[in-house]
Amino acid sequence: KALSFNIYDVSYAQSEEERQRYISYIDEAYNADRLTQILTDVAEIIGANILNIARQDYDPQGASVDILIAEQAFPHERIDASCNLGDIAALKSRGDEILGHLDKSHVTVHTYPEYHPDNAIATFRVDIDISTCGEITPLDT
C-alpha cells in the first residue's frame, strides 16, 4: 500500500533580501531535523517500528529523509548493525552525510526549494511517500 502527496509553496521574492528571507524560512521550517521528527511521528501514527533513518541537509538548501520501517518489532540479533533504530543521537554522531537503504516499507520526504530569477518567483515543493506491507496502512496518517 502506498500514499504519496506533494506540498507546494510559491512566493514572490523580487529583491535579494526577500529571496534570502524566504530561503532562510524554508531552511528553518523544512530542515532534516524537523522532517525527521515529522516522519518519526508518521511512523508512530501508523504503528510502524523504525529500523533505520537516513537523512541529509543539502547546500545551498533542501533536505531529504528516508525511514526504513517494519510492521513488527525485530529481534535485535536480526537487525543489521548499520541500522540506528531511530536513535537521533547516534544518527547525528555519524557526520553530515548519511546513506540508507529502503526495504519493503518506508516513509520518505524530499524537498525542492528553487528560485527563478527571471520572474522573481521562489518555489518550494515537498514530496512525501509512505509505502507499507502487511497490516499497517499509510491511510492512518
As annotated, the active-site residues are 105, 110, 133
Phi first, then psi, for residue 30 (nearest 5°) are: -130, 45
Cβ proximity of 85 and 119 under 8 Å: no
C-alpha cell at 108: 520518505
Q: How far apart are CA 34 and CA 44, in angstroms?
A: 15
What are the residues facing 16 on neighbouring strands?
none
H or E segment to which residue 49 belongs: strand 49-57
